[in-house]
Amino acid sequence: MKKVTISSLQAQKQSAEKIAALTAYDASFAKLFDEQNIDVLLIGDSLGMVLQGQDDTLAVTIDDIAYHTRAVRRGTQRAFVIADLPFMSYATPNQTYSNAAKIMAAGASMVKLEGGQWLCETITGLVQRGVPVCAHMGLTPQSVHVFGGFKVQGRHQEKAEQMVEEAIAVQNAGAQLLVLECVPSSLGKRISEELTIPVIGIGAGKDTDGQILVMHDMFGISANYMPKFSKNYLVETGDLRKAVKKYISDVRSGAFPSTAHSFE
């Protein structure tokens, strides 16, 4: 079983082979997803909402992420493992480097940060110190109070142009992957075409280089609500493994997301 790397993810983009990703928070589910040949597993700060019952992701700590990263790594043999740096854990360069070191030591192969051009210096510093970076743009949940709620981003032309420019900037700073959340499908397509690094969408349309869902949403068991961009694969298949297999198949074939799970 060949291990997924950033190089193989880059090759998937170049060959137009869609990347399938899910969040994971423990060894058992990580193993289940890994056995179905998921490409990427993310230890997301979404754990604050789906595991801890918080209203948002802001209370998640670096120790929370490190704990769940260690668990996921123990259940993973093939998938590429990414872990979030949580809210205010990368406010200064020295703080960022220290917290990224904790996450990498816990078993992550890459760290994810939310933000655009203001992060460029931080991204470059991390890469220079041997820490691969995934940027996260669009709806960035750590900025939910700035946005005034969980809202689609980039609908206006000026904001869309700014997002394209910032996506190029974070790529040039050294980011090797981009998660793009809750933007119009046309903008997801444009950013994916503009960048040479893989773009993984969540509510960003079918034309990104891959898709990611929160596992609880994909199984239809989230405590709060089902986002428009998600799909309950468990109710469709009636079996955890079949649900994961169907999700991966639909991502790779382009069947998911449909227009019903996208924004215009």
**Active-site entry in 121, 166, 181, 264:** 181
Could you give the C-alpha distances from 145 to 56, 148, 160, 163, in angstroms and in order?
10, 5, 20, 19
112 marked ligand binding residue:
yes
Q: Give CA–CA dist 143/150, Å, rounded.
A: 9
Pick from 90, 97, 83: nearest CA to 42? 83
Taking the CA atoms of 196, 200, 204 and 205 in sequence, report the sign of the dihedral they define.
Answer: positive
114 marked ligand binding residue:
yes
**Any catalytic annotation for residue 236?**
no
166 marked ligand binding residue:
no
Q: Give CA–CA dist 79/204, Å, rounded.
A: 23
Q: Say if CB 198 and CB 13 are below 8 A apart.
A: yes
Give the burial class of 258: count Cβ atoms within 10 A of its Cβ; 0-12 exposed, 13-18 middle, 19 or more buried.
exposed
189 marked ligand binding residue:
no
Binding site residue list for 3-methyl-2-oxobutanoate: 45-46, 84, 112
The set of catalytic residues is 181
Binding site residue list for Mg(2+): 45, 84, 114
Binding site residue list: 45-46, 84, 112, 114
